[in-house]
Structure 1
Amino acid sequence: MAESRRPSLHSAAGNLSRTLGTLVAVCWLVLASSVALARTTDGSVVAESLPLELFWAVAFVLAAVGAMWLVGGGYDRIGADPTGVWSFVWLAIFLLPLAFVPLRVAVGFVDPTGSLLDTVFVVAVTVVAGWLAFYGGLERLSLTLDDVVRVVVFVVALGSISLAAIFLFDVDWVARPPIAVVVALTIQAAACWLGLSRELP
């Protein structure tokens, strides 16, 4: 009797996990879309007409409706793998933004205001994370989440060296373009190469 309950409990736990992950993922999509819309349009008009509390309430309702649709068959309709939902959450919200901070810094010197670039960066990260997690991108590239985590670790390690040179040893020329662009791109390339081809000790 106990053995017969285990598969059903495991299935229920898996469904609950996917539902929760889907809610988090759709909340992120709603938030990212709202930020992108505010950055590319006159966000002040929306901010004045929609109180912050009401915005969050509307965002949560939209996310809940979207999550219910996905769990109720939406994944199949869009050809996505529902088991990749937590991979998407980790990739879109944490891992990919951190892994490509040097690239964002380098490109930021082109547009010091950064508003449009931030929007493009968030959208690009979200799209790439969706492909990697839901459409077999990780498998096609022979990657795992651990590989991306290693890239993040090397970004932090190599970035800390450059920051230490600037703030501890007053090597301020490293922070001025075009040297800063070269340093950031070098850190990005080195972190990707080390993270994807080397194991952490």
Structure 2
Amino acid sequence: MDIFDRLKAAAATDWQGYVDHSFVRQMGAGTLPQAAFRHYLVQDYLFLIQFARAWALAAYKSRTLADIRAAQAGLAAILDETELHVRLCARWGLSREAMEAAPEHQATVAYTRYVLDCGAAGDLLELHVALAPCVIGYAVIGRALAPEGVEALADHPYRDWIAEYAGDGYQQVAHDARRHLDELAARSMTEQRFADLVGVFGKASRLEADFWQMGLDADHT
């Protein structure tokens, strides 16, 4: 059991509340209202801008070239993700400029600033634990929503989003992030510290669930 599995098991309720949220289940079933998905996409675009800052902070916090390269890869993956959002939002006539001008929802602020605070106040391991529910969790969700592969999704209304995270490219990003988390834990984690890291992982997972809920709530406003 690697460190990610240990964290996931120790924060099982928070983790399940995130990966099995109603937003995720509705998206998988193809019944998620378009308004909810559109609102989520715009906020997730703003979210990714702040997460790009977190990966830049990870590079600053790094003391080895290997850690800096890992942060560079994470930052590159985030920038690639933003392009998916731009493409999808263009379908509704939303430009990149309009997305960037949208106000951040409080759920976006709460989650991203929590991660940045973990990075600013803590060490590199704490920052990567705070990032893990997003970076690795989206790969888990993507794979779960495409159990028979991306091609089997056919004309699913959320095919492009699911394909992004179920695809080999993002799955490799998550695999690399998981391996790097293990390497960081081997260097600086004690069993006494593990409980604190579970708290960080659980909080980040709850904030992820709040982010999904924000999307669902937007459909009723």
- Normalised by the length of structure 1, the TM-score is 0.29
Q: Which one has a bigger Cα radius of gyration? A: 1
TM (norm. structure 2) is 0.27
Which protein, 1 or 2, shows the higher relative CO under an 8 Å CA cutoff with sep ≥ 6?
2
